Structure 1
Amino acid sequence: MIILNRCSPLRQILRRCYSQAAEITSNKINLTAFFGKWPETEQQEFREHMRIITDFISESEEQQLHEEIEPYMSRLRYEFDHWDDAIHGFRETERKKWFPKNREILERVRKVAFDGAVMPYVHILDLAPDGVIKPHVDSTRYCGTTISGISLLSDSVMRLVRTDAQRYNQPSSGTAKELESKGSEPDAAYRHQPAASLENNFYADLLLPRRSLYIMSHTARYNFTHEILAKEHSEFQGTPVPKTRRISIICRNDP
């Protein structure tokens, strides 16, 4: 489900998807482009488990979130050698206590994205304009069925690629979480990078507008790598999507 606000700055791209993209907010707009030969049932599950809500926060709410985290983030340096090699050009932290108005925003995230409680610490990931998040799957040792993030400061494109079926989604072998409990994970890395080639595979590109909320759960969370495309590759359906500095406010539930 995708909800479009008439003030969306991405109307040029949306017009290419639907001729009535600029109409009333009740319109549902597809911000997902599918590639490869998707099994019908798996594509349907993906649509249910990977959602984007545009304009989830207002401009003033984006500003108040940024104003709360910027004094701390600005003291950190961008790193280009992440310990698990999944991110380059980033700085990150976790935050448990928030100003009251921002707690209200995070409570909205909980109500929309999660069936119950979320982990008390919220992950803040600040990606430099030249930064990149490589294809990875977040380890089930550290977060559960759902990962949800608010995008601040910049539009971006997220790509999800189907992982190696032998490892992640063989019906006879169980889900990724079950496989990990049997010791199938190579290590205890927070983010691991399974093989997920685009060749002879199927994948999806998702347009993440500034101030949107993405909700990645179940099939999308376990069986696909996800990445943020580098600025030189950042485009959606042939239209460039300029990526500047991007901050993600990420909530997760317990494993």
Structure 2
Amino acid sequence: MEGFARAVGATRHLYVANCLGIALESVKAAFSKFGPVLDACAADSSKARVIVSFEREADAAAARDAWNRQCCGALGERALVIEFAAPRERIKLVEVPVSTSAQELGIPGLSLLTEFISSREEERLLQEVDARPWQALAKRRVQHYGYEFLYNARNVDTSKFLGEFPDFLQPLLEKISSIAELQETSEATFPFDQLTVNEYPRGVGLSPHIDTHSAFQGSIISLSLAGPCVMEFRKYASEGVSPEFERKALFLPQRSLLILSGESRYGWHHYIPHHKFDLVSGQSVPRESRRVSYTFRKVRHGPCRCNFRQYCDSQ
């Protein structure tokens, strides 16, 4: 079914198998017994399967009920297998050119370290969170460590400490702490005391946002596990109201570490498009069945004094 997929419920489209050698017009004429048929077309190159599209869903349902796994006299006593079908979702590819290097974007404070961990380390990090309970949000699942991130307030409650990070994170934290550029930030980034683990099903992204200035200080670190994605960065003329904004996009490979410091952290919105495919270097790159991110932050305990007042909730 090149342009269609099997549907969960009833639709006006039928997937009809075992039609090899039968003309499409004959299939259309036979199914017209149940009501107006708009089209009958090949489901794939085999010519054995046909998509029959009715004008009304009720007529399609009647045809399926009557002929599914039955011998059809109108088609030479052919035994048909019939299922409901639906048009496949059109692939929406990222429109902005996608870079594979953070340096190409020219956004101050943005870095990307590819293959930051090994596949074995990745496997262990996934096993550890999969052994722990997930919190279900509308379209994705999350886990919080150190402090819970409150999505309604886009902040944390500093009076509710969840406890120290589990031991399995220590090797990763030690590796991150050795990154040279993190030692050069104007605000202290270490030690991290808040971690959000996100699990994104295929096709689910993240709305454009800047992590709340009053909530976190220093750099924000995000490790991509289980699959890649494209992250878009947007710089608006004014916070939240201007239709004019600069757009840049970066491909985040599996096992890569993204660093947001300075302007990239405080002055640019970041966003993951809700796509099942991304266009990277002229190639369509499918997203995996899920992508898991580890995002480390340091909770702020005083006002933000950044130079990006138009985006700052402390100034």
| The two structures share one fold, judged by TM-score above 0.5 | yes
How far apart are the structure 2 equivalents of 1:70 and 1:126?
Answer: 10
Task: Label 1:208 to 1:196 Cα distance change in 2 as closer, same or farther (>3 A).
Answer: farther
**Given that residues 205 and 236 in structure 1 are in contact (C-alpha distance below 8 angstroms), is that contact kept between their aligned partners in structure 2?**
no
Greater RCO (CA < 8 Å, at least 6 residues apart): 1
Deviation at 1:229, TM superposition (A): 1.8
Letter in 2 for 1:114: L
1:118 and 2:191 aligned: yes
How far apart are the structure 2 equivalents of 1:122 and 1:196?
Answer: 32
Structure with the higher helix share, 1 or 2? 1
Structure 2 residue aligned with 1:148: 221
Structure 1 residue aligned with 2:55: none
Structure 1 residue aligned with 2:7: none
What stretches of structure 1 of length at least 5 have no aligned partner?
1-16, 19-28, 35-42, 81-88, 168-193
Structure 1 residue aligned with 2:117: 57
Structure with the higher strand share, 1 or 2? 2
**Given that residues 32 and 207 in structure 1 are in contact (C-alpha distance below 8 angstroms), is that contact kept between their aligned partners in structure 2?**
no
How far apart are the structure 2 equivalents of 1:54 and 1:128?
Answer: 22
**Given that residues 231 and 250 in structure 2 are in contact (C-alpha distance below 8 angstroms), is that contact kept between their aligned partners in structure 1?**
yes
Moved more, 119-128 or 232-241: 232-241
- Give the CA RMSD over aligned residues: 2.5
Moved more, 48-57 or 124-133: 124-133
Q: Secondary structure at the match of 1:202?
A: strand
How far apart are the structure 2 equivalents of 1:246 and 1:195?
Answer: 31
**Given that residues 33 and 204 in structure 1 are in contact (C-alpha distance below 8 angstroms), is that contact kept between their aligned partners in structure 2?**
no
Name the TM-score, length of structure 1 as normaliser.
0.62
Deviation per CA, 1:150-208: give whole Å up to 9, x if none: 100011000001123x44xxxxxxxxxxxxxxxxxxxxxxxxxx3464xx532210110
Q: Secondary structure at the match of 1:131?
A: coil
**Given that residues 156 and 209 in structure 1 are in contact (C-alpha distance below 8 angstroms), is that contact kept between their aligned partners in structure 2?**
yes
Task: Label 1:201 to 1:122 Cα distance change in 2 as closer, same or farther (>3 A).
Answer: closer
Aligned residues: 178
1:67 and 2:134 aligned: no
1:91 and 2:136 aligned: no
Task: Label 1:31 to 1:207 Cα distance change in 2 as closer, same or farther (>3 A).
Answer: farther
Task: Label 1:65 to 1:160 Cα distance change in 2 as closer, same or farther (>3 A).
Answer: same
Structure 1 residue aligned with 2:267: 223
Name the TM-score, length of structure 2 as normaliser.
0.51
